[in-house]
Amino acid sequence: MDCIFCKIIEGSIPSAKVFENDRIVAFRDIQPAAPVHILIIPKKHIPTMNDVTAEDDALMAELFAAARQIARELGIAESGYRLINNVNADGGQVVYHLHIHLLGGAKLHGLNGA
């Protein structure tokens, strides 16, 4: 499958991993938009949030659990962070393998205008 994140999961493309278990991998974004910018992805190839089904409920919960754990481990749980999932063209999705962006390490601006 010609998917860059599937290649990262297989190890044929290198990544700076910060978390891995049997179902999930998390690694540093190659073009960080904040001091901490991690991508959290399921090993199952799901193209977008639109393709998630009830069968994936436990996996989705586990992605958010991984996000909480990584935020704690990287020391940004208390200072704060943002979780983003981009969907399709208007959402700005570039890689069609479901992923959650974990952003933090500085005051984030935009979106809600804060």
Query: Minimal distance in Å, beta carbon 91 to ligand AMP?
Result: 8
Sign of CA dihedral 38, 36, 101, 70: positive
Both structure tokens of 84: 């983003």
Smallest CA-to-CA distance from 48 within 114, 99, 10 is with 99
Please, which of residues 24-83 interact with ligand AMP by CB under 6 A?
Answer: 29-31, 39
Number of residues that bind ligand AMP (CB under 6 A): 12
| 45 catalytically annotated | no
Q: By CB under 6 A, name the binding residues for ligand AMP.
A: 4, 13, 15, 29-31, 39, 86, 92-95
